[in-house]
Amino acid sequence: MVATKITVNNNGPIRVEGDFEIVDPEGKPFGLAGRTIVSLCRCGHSANKPFCDGSHKTSGFNDMVVARELPPPKPKI
């Protein structure tokens, strides 16, 4: 199995590469037609959500990404 790589692009989408499945809230999978690379919308303007259609380029979406450590998860009660 190929590892999945997720890249959050500056001022653009989230790129997902490798072996993955994308499902809706009911667990029904999206038909990806054999794709092993997709881009997911971050700007909220895509007409093809959750997939990117390039709308971030004309919507003024601006978000620079810097990797950081997340705090430890809170204990479940």
Domain of residue 43, CATH code: 3.40.5
Q: How many domains does the chain have?
A: 1
Does any domain span residue 71? Answer: no
| 8 A C-beta contact, residue 43 and residue 50 | no
pLDDT, tens digit (0-9, with 9 covering 90-100), for 1-20: 568 999 999 999 999 999 99
Classify 41 as helix, strand or coil.
coil
Does any domain span residue 73? Answer: no
Does any domain span residue 54? Answer: yes
The CA distance from 9 to 15, in Å, is 7
The CA distance from 14 to 22, in Å, is 13
Does any domain span residue 51? Answer: yes
Residue type for position 29: P
| 8 A C-beta contact, residue 39 and residue 51 | yes
Q: What is the pLDDT along the chain (77 residues), one digit of tens a residue?
A: 568 999 999 999 999 999 999 999 999 999 999 999 999 999 999 999 999 999 999 999 999 999 999 999 999 98
Residue type for position 35: R
Structural domain harbouring 29: 1-62
